[in-house]
């Protein structure tokens, strides 16, 4: 599974203006609802529920919020580059400026875990993250996310 299987150019937000974790999740839920046809509140609730289990702020300015929804028919990804870093209660206590949201069907099981691993591997690449932080062009962000070798690595 490639990152290109998860996101489309429409699923890239180049300058998300959020001042808090809650606002970022609300804004992402709204965009995800537009992309998936799901109700915004259902997406937000599943993201909030996951955050209550422990932060999805994985460190180095990166968060990977995720959740499962019974009504989804496939995996969906959404990438946002924040205009300004925000407190995401990350494990390293650093603010977050890159967020990759992942939504999966309830039945996704291993595919959900593989997608999380793929996204995590991509965003652990410091070179990719530097480039993502260095552009606010949606086209360039999409290209960086989908064309890097890390987006295809097994």
Sign of CA dihedral 19, 23, 25, 27: negative
pLDDT of the residue at 147: 86
To the query of whether residue 94 is one of the catalytic residues in this protein, the response is no
CATH assignment of the domain containing 143: 3.40.930.10
- What pLDDT sits at residue 76? 96
User: Is residue 133 within 8 Å of residue 81, measured between CB atoms?
Assistant: yes
- How large a percentage of the chain has pLDDT more than 70? 95
Q: Give every CB contact of residue 7 below 8 A, 6+ residues apart in sequence.
A: 76, 77, 78, 79, 142, 145, 146
More confidently predicted of 154 and 84 = 84
Q: Which residues pair with 77 in a beta bridge?
A: 102
Alpha-helix runs per DSSP H in the chain: 21-36, 40-53, 110-123, 126-133, 138-147
pTM of the model: 0.94
For residue 149, pLDDT over 90 is answered with no
Mean pLDDT of 140-153: 78
Mean pLDDT of 15-35: 96
Question: Residue 106: which domain range?
Answer: 3-151
Q: Please give the tally of structural domains in the chain.
A: 1
């Amino acid at each position: 599974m490639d990152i290109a299987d998860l996101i489309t150019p429409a699923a890239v937000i180049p300058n998300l203006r959020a001042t808090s974790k809650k606002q970022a999740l609300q804004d992402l839920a709204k965009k995800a609802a537009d992309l998936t046809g799901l109700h915004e509140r259902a997406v937000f609730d599943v993201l909030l529920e996951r955050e209550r289990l422990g932060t999805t702020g994985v460190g180095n300015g990166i968060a990977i919020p995720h959740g499962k929804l019974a009504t989804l028919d496939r995996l969906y990804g959404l990438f946002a580059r924040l205009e300004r870093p925000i407190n995401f209660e990350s494990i390293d206590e650093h603010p977050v400026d890159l967020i990759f949201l992942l939504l999966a069907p309830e039945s996704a099981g291993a595919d959900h875990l593989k997608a999380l691993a793929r996204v995590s591997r991509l965003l652990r690449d410091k070179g990719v993250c530097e480039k993502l932080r260095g552009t606010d062009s949606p086209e360039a962000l999409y290209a960086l996310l989908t064309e890097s070798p890390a987006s295809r690595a097994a």
